[in-house]
């Protein structure tokens, strides 16, 4: 496999002006990866600040109720800032510091990655600016203020559809114009090499811990590992240390929104085609002219028109399976999990829970499933209420 490629996918499809930045980033990352000092410093941030290792929680009631495989949940929702995003934000912010950068920039959709980047910047004493689609700054005003509290400047992006894909474009443009003191903290396993590999490595702490934890608890590997897929970072982190375990099925859950037979979904693998966008060759939702199609999901974190190149590769080789989960299925799983286990999941994670709920009864009681609980659901409570026709402000 050539550098930065996953089979035919990945690569660096970027303007000339970014080439030097990516070359020096790759060199710095390769050096940091082998540097015991860097690894120890990041390990300390992850444990003392972010709260790792995260628990592997056995959902006893849910398992008994479904009457099949035992269900375990990797509790990324318990991390500081409430999701897996902090694993990557701390990794890249620390790397930026080692590279002598004084400023980081980031894109954000709903604001989860923006908040994680702003948090890491506050902790490590870096300037931070976040680019967010205007549409999203209005929908997620609370996260905008949260980032401002953390000392970050938020830019409202008014180009295109004024959402995540436009925020990525704008952050790339900003980076190309100011490489000397600035690092771009990309939020998922996407974009040009080395981002998909680097972000996956920072997130792979999830499966490194989970693999050990399940062997400790059950003395055997899980039959299935399940995670939701937006750009694909929590899934890539959850899958990584199980990829060589051929007997472990890997399942990614993408957003079917209002249904695969409508135009309102973000089901890249089910409905998309190979293309080049955001610096990578991968699979994207496109129209018949190859333009990136608008996407929709009730969950802002899954509302991205593409998927990381390693997932496109795993899909092409059959190593991982990808299924699509509708808004309705995800909301039902959100309510079910809250009621059954006393844990309100992120609506993104609820897509994975919905699939686990379908799958568990088809497996035997001596098999295990691990689900990545990528985040907590406090941020989603108002949207779920609205979906169910309740207006909380009245």
Ligand X SMILES: *Cc1c(COP(=O)(O)O)cnc(C)c1O
Which listed residue (70, 74, 85, 165) is catalytic? 85
Q: Name the minimum Å distance from CB 375 to ligand X.
A: 2
Please give the DSSP secondary-structure letter assigned to residue 103.
Answer: E
**∠ CA 101-107-109, rounded to 5°:** 155
Smaller CB distance to ligand X: residue 115 or 363?
115
Smaller CB distance to ligand X: residue 170 or 303?
303
Q: Name the minimum Å distance from CB 394 to ligand X.
A: 28
Of 323, 386, 377, residue with least CA distance to 350: 377
Smaller CB distance to ligand X: residue 301 or 309?
301
Q: Name the minimum Å distance from CB 309 to ligand X.
A: 13
Q: Name the minimum Å distance from CB 288 to ligand X.
A: 27
- CA dist 166 and 391 (Å) reads 30
Q: Name the minimum Å distance from CB 125 to ligand X.
A: 25
User: How many Cβ atoms from other residues are within 10 Å of residue 51's Cβ?
Assistant: 15
Q: Name the minimum Å distance from CB 67 to ligand X.
A: 28
CA–CA distances in Å: residue 153 to residues 77, 161, 190? 26, 21, 24
Q: Name the minimum Å distance from CB 225 to ligand X.
A: 14
- Which residues are near ligand X by CB under 6 A? 83, 85, 112, 188, 228-235, 301-302, 346, 348-349, 374-375
Phi, psi of 10 (to 5 degrees): 100, -135
Distance from CA of residue 78 to its chain's centroid? 15
* HSE-up (13 A, CA, CB side) for residue 318: 2
| β-strand pairing of 368-373 with 70-75 | parallel
Smaller CB distance to ligand X: residue 163 or 374?
374
Smaller CB distance to ligand X: residue 222 or 301?
301
The answer to whether the Cα torsion of 113, 189, 230, 307 is positive or negative is positive
CA–CA distances in Å: residue 317 to residues 6, 210, 360? 10, 24, 25
Q: Name the minimum Å distance from CB 92 to ligand X.
A: 14
User: How many Cβ atoms from other residues are within 10 Å of residue 175's Cβ?
Assistant: 18
Task: Give the residue at shortest CB distance from ligand X.
Answer: 375
For residue 340, whether the previous peptide bond is cis, meaning omega lies within 30 degrees of 0, is no
Of 316, 264, 265, 272, residue with least CA distance to 290: 272
- CA dist 227 and 349 (Å) reads 7
- CA dist 165 and 162 (Å) reads 8
Of 294, 112, 79, residue with least CA distance to 187: 112
DSSP reduced 3-state for 16: helix
Active site residue 299: no
Smaller CB distance to ligand X: residue 226 or 363?
226
Active site residue 107: yes
CA–CA distances in Å: residue 197 to residues 3, 64, 165, 282? 10, 38, 20, 14
Which listed residue (207, 329, 374, 379) is catalytic? 374
Which listed residue (107, 129, 254, 310) is catalytic? 107
Smaller CB distance to ligand X: residue 205 or 228?
228
Of 311, 303, 298, 314, residue with least CA distance to 385: 298
Smaller CB distance to ligand X: residue 70 or 265?
265
Active site residue 374: yes
Catalytic residues: 85, 107, 374
């Amino acid at each position: 496999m050539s550098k930065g490629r996953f089979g035919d996918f990945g690569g660096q499809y970027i303007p000339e002006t970014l080439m030097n930045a990516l070359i020096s980033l790759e060199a710095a990352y390769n050096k940091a990866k082998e540097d015991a000092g860097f690894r120890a410093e990041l390990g300390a941030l992850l444990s003392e600040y972010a709260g790792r290792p995260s628990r592997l929680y056995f959902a006893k009631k849910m398992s008994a109720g479904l009457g099949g495989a035992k269900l375990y949940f990797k509790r990324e929702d318990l991390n500081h800032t409430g999701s897996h995003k902090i694993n990557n934000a701390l990794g890249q912010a620390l790397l930026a510091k080692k590279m002598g950068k004084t400023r980081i920039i980031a894109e954000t959709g709903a604001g989860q990655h923006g908040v994680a980047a702003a948090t890491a910047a506050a902790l490590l004493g870096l300037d931070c600016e976040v680019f967010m689609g205007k549409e999203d700054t209005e929908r997620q005003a609370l996260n905008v203020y949260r980032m401002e509290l953390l000392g970050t400047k938020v830019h409202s992006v008014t180009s295109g559809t004024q959402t995540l894909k436009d925020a990525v474009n704008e952050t790339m443009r900003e980076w190309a114009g100011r490489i000397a003191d600035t690092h771009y903290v990309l939020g998922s396993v996407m974009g040009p090499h080395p981002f998909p590999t680097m972000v996956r490595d920072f997130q792979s702490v999830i499966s490194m811990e989970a693999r050990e934890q399940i062997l400790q608890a059950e003395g055997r590997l899980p039959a299935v590992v399940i995670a939701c897929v937006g750009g694909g970072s929590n899934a890539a982190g959850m899958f990584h240390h199980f990829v060589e375990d051929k007997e472990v099925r890997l399942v990614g859950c993408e957003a079917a929104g209002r249904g695969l037979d409508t135009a309102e979904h973000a089901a890249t693998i089910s409905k998309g085609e190979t293309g080049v966008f955001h610096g990578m060759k991968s699979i994207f939702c496109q129209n018949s002219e190859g333009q990136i199609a608008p996407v929709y999901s009730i969950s802002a974190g899954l509302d991205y028109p593409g998927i990381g190149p390693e997932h496109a590769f795993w899909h092409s080789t059959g190593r991982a399976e990808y299924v699509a989960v509708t808004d309705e299925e995800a909301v039902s799983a959100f309510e079910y999990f809250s009621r059954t286990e006393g844990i309100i999941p992120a609506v993104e994670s609820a897509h994975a829970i919905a699939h686990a709920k379908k799958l568990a009864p088809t497996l035997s009681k001596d098999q295990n499933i691990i689900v990545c609980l990528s985040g907590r659901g406090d941020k989603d409570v108002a949207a779920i209420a609205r979906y169910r026709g309740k207006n909380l402000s009245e």
